[in-house]
């Protein structure tokens, strides 16, 4: 039998507990009424809103891509797939607007390749 | 800390009379999750095992670290001994590596920082991991029963012993013979 995949959701719970904050205290810092919202984010039942992600960066000094790696990976994969499709669709374009868009696509793809090489240690 | 470069998780478990303490490590100085879960009712071992299985299912650790009771230097109850046997079986069925450490190995590991008693080891851990510093229990007098928070440090000591014995120090190359 194959080993199941690990399910690390986010680091919000870790950082909250490192600083001894309760869910209710963190919710009040975020400007939320209930601690249930924090619980759902911690357990991966709800994706963090932009406000929550930015509030985490303000409070803990950790960027959203590090605090919520799973959401970041999911968004990154979806965007990269769409960028690749756009690049393919614009492959025969000759107008200036299209060429500008292709430049953006190539920059995004180049950034992704250099990032993955860095992660692999190449 | 993205999925691509996450380190392997190490789960250390320390059962006690009223439940169990656990610490999930990403590295020797970075605990990911920790806590003390109380199991008070009947069939403690079954319920404790269910809780530990939930943790394993949630986090999928690479290694499970528990206390080694084989040489008889530890005075744990028969229930806890049975629970350790059940944990060993659980680790096998869940494809998790199992590591066991004796009390003497833990003391040897923390001996380098001059800590030998449980309280001194807890203080050494609190210095190494600031997240635990506010959970350090008061010094136990002979007439006092053990604080439940001490079990968290016992679990952390097991995890840190694993890292000290199995993970190569980044400064190892700097030491000249």
Q: Which domain range does residue A33 map to?
A: 12-64
Structure tokens at B108: 């040897």
Chain B: residue nearest A76 by CA? B2
Chain B: residue nearest A117 by CA? B4
Residue B169 clears pLDDT 80, i.e. is over it: no
d(CA A41, CA A49): 9
Q: What is the DSSP letter of B175?
A: -
Q: What does the pLDDT read at residue B88?
A: 92
Residues A76 and A36 in one domain: no
- The residues on B that touch A, with CB distances below 8 Å, are 1-6, 9, 31-34, 57-60, 95, 130-131, 134
Mean of the per-residue pLDDT values of chain A: 86
Structure tokens at A117: 């090489």
pLDDT, tens digit (0-9, with 9 covering 90-100), for B62-85: 999 999 888 777 788 889 999 999
- Burial category of A11 from C-beta neighbours within 10 Å (exposed 0-12, middle 13-18, buried 19 and up): buried
Packing angle of the helix pair A23-30, A50-60 (nearest 10 deg): 110
Residue B128 CA to chain centroid, in angstroms?
A: 15
Q: What is the CA radius of gyration of chain A?
A: 19
Rounded to 10 degrees, what is the CA torsion of B74, B77, B81, B82?
A: 180
CATH of residue A28: 1.10.260
**DSSP characters for A50-102?**
HHHHHHHHHHH---HHHHSHHHHHHHHHHHHHHHHHHHHHTTT--SHHHHHHH
Residue B4 clears pLDDT 70, i.e. is over it: no
Q: What does the pLDDT read at residue B146?
A: 85
Candidate CATH numbers 1.20.1090.10, 2.30.40.10, 3.30.420.10, 3.30.70.260; the one for domain B3-168: 3.30.420.10
Packing angle of the helix pair B78-93, B44-59 (nearest 10 deg): 30
Residues A75 and A116 in one domain: yes
Residue B138 CA to chain centroid, in angstroms?
A: 20
Residue A115 clears pLDDT 90, i.e. is over it: no
Contacts of B129 in chain A (CB under 8 A): none
d(CA B1, CA A10): 10
Q: What does the pLDDT read at residue B24?
A: 93
**B95 contacts A20? CB cut-off 8 A:** no
For B26-47, what is the mean pLDDT?
88
Residues A48 and A76 in one domain: no
Q: Which residue has better confidence, B174 or B51?
A: B51
Contact (CB, 8 A) for B32 and A12: no
Q: What does the pLDDT read at residue B5?
A: 42
Q: What does the pLDDT read at residue A46?
A: 87
Domain count along chain A: 2
Q: What are the extents of the domains in chain B?
A: 3-168
**B32 contacts A6? CB cut-off 8 A:** no
Residues A84 and A48 in one domain: no
Q: What is the CA radius of gyration of chain B?
A: 16
Nearest to B105 by CA among B65, B56, B136, B142: B65
Q: Is residue A31 part of a domain?
A: yes
Interface A-B: count of C-beta contacts within 8 A: 47
Residues A60 and A84 in one domain: no
Q: Is residue A2 part of a domain?
A: no
Q: Is residue A76 part of a domain?
A: yes
Q: What does the pLDDT read at residue A5?
A: 55
Residues A16 and A59 in one domain: yes
**A1 contacts B3? CB cut-off 8 A:** no
Contacts of B9 in chain A (CB under 8 A): 6, 8
Residue A36 CA to chain centroid, in angstroms?
A: 22
φ/ψ (deg, to 5) at B33: -150, 155
Contact (CB, 8 A) for B84 and B49: no
Nearest to A38 by CA among A50, A54, A22: A22
Neighbours of B109 (CB within 10 A): 21
Confidence category of residue B41, pLDDT binned at 50, 70, 90? confident
Neighbours of A81 (CB within 10 A): 10
pLDDT, tens digit (0-9, with 9 covering 90-100), for B84-129: 999 999 999 999 999 999 888 898 888 888 888 889 999 999 998 8
Q: What is the DSSP letter of A43?
A: T
Residues A21 and A59 in one domain: yes
d(CA B38, CA B17): 9
């Amino acid at each position: 039998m194959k080993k199941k995949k690990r399910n690390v959701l986010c680091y919000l719970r870790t950082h909250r507990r490192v600083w001894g904050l309760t869910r209710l205290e963190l919710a009040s810092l975020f400007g939320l009424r209930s601690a249930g919202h924090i619980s759902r984010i911690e357990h991966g039942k709800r994706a963090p809103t932009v406000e929550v992600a930015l509030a985490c960066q303000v409070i803990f000094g950790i960027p959203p891509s590090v605090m919520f790696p799973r959401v970041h990976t999911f968004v990154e994969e979806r965007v990269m797939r769409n960028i690749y499709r756009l690049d393919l669709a614009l492959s025969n374009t000759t107008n200036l607007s299209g060429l500008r868009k292709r430049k953006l696509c190539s920059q995004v793809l180049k950034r992704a390749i250099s990032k993955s090489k860095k992660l692999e240690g190449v | 800390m993205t999925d691509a470069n996450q380190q392997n998780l190490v789960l250390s478990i320390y059962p006690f009379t009223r439940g169990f303490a656990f610490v999930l490590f990403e590295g020797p100085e970075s605990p990911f999750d920790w806590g003390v879960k109380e199991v008070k009712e009947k069939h403690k071992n079954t319920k404790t095992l269910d809780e530990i299985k939930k943790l394993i299912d949630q986090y999928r650790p690479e290694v499970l670290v528990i206390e080694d009771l084989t040489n008889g230097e530890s005075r744990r109850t028969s229930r806890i001994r049975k629970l350790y046997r059940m944990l060993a079986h659980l680790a096998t069925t869940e494809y998790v590596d199992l590591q066991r450490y004796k009390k003497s190995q833990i003391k040897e590991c923390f001996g380098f920082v001059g800590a030998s008693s449980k309280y001194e080891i807890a203080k050494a851990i609190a210095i190494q991991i600031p997240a635990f510093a506010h959970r350090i229990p008061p010094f136990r007098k002979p007439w006092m029963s053990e604080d439940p928070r001490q079990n968290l440090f016992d679990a952390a000591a097991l995890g840190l012993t694993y890292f000290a014995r199995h993970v190569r120090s980044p400064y190892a190359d700097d030491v000249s013979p």
